[in-house]
């Protein structure tokens, strides 16, 4: 994984999905420039954002910002957009995953306990579905891995288009957070 400094600022009037797609493309393009010595390289760039009422919730600045985001998400359904771009010297392709996540109502004690855990740090929308915040989720329509930040089904299909794979299809139940699904 490359450490890239790509500015993540939504342009005025830019639709939320286009913003997420653009940032993923810019990350992949910047990554390709760093590995230009390898002409056969395929670089992935991805971005995931939480969207409520057309407002993009990026990573919170601090604990107060995180608590504010969680208060606004509580008892509501929001959209999680994950875009993945793949680029090589001669090709570019992109996929996007759209998931709807419904949170249960949260009181200040739930929010304070989650903030104290520190899991909110570095997470779009101030939560990570793969951790303690999974208990906030009443309903998920879409991709669990997309909400985590990398939609695996879509990414595998994207990479197959670049000649990688096929990836195995696992038919056994998946175990997440100690619960079989």
Where in the sequence numbering do the catalytic residues fall? 47
Q: How far apart are the first and last CA of the chain?
A: 30
For 37, counting Cβ atoms within 10 Å of its Cβ (0-12 exposed, 13-18 middle, 19+ buried), the class is: exposed
CA distances from 75 to 36, 105, 113, 142, 180 (A): 47, 4, 17, 18, 26
- Cβ 104 vs Cβ 127: under 8 Å: no
Q: What are phi and psi of 149, to 5 degrees?
A: 135, -10
C-alpha to C-alpha distance for 164 and 91, rounded to whole angstroms: 14
The DSSP annotation for 40-57 comes to T--EEEEEEEEEETTEEE
What are the DSSP E strand ranges found in the chain?
43-52, 55-57, 77-87, 92-103, 137-141, 175-176, 179-180
């Amino acid at each position: 994984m490359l450490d890239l400094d790509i500015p993540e600022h939504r342009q005025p009037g830019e639709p939320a999905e286009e913003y997420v797609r653009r940032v993923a493309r810019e990350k992949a393009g910047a990554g390709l420039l760093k590995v230009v010595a390898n002409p056969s390289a395929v670089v992935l760039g991805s971005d995931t954002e939480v969207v409520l009422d057309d407002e993009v919730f990026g990573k919170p600045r601090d604990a107060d910002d995180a608590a504010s985001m969680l208060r606004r998400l509580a008892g509501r359904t929001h959209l999680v957009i994950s875009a993945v771009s793949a680029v090589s010297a001669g090709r570019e392709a992109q996929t996007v995953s759209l998931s709807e996540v419904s949170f249960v109502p949260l009181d200040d004690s739930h929010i304070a306990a989650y903030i104290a855990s520190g899991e909110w740090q570095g997470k779009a929308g101030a939560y990570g579905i793969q951790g303690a915040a999974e208990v906030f989720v009443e309903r998920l329509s879409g991709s669990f891995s997309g909400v985590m930040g990398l939609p695996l089904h879509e990414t595998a299909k994207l990479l197959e288009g670049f000649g990688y794979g096929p990836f195995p299809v696992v038919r056994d139940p998946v175990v997440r957070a100690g619960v079989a699904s």
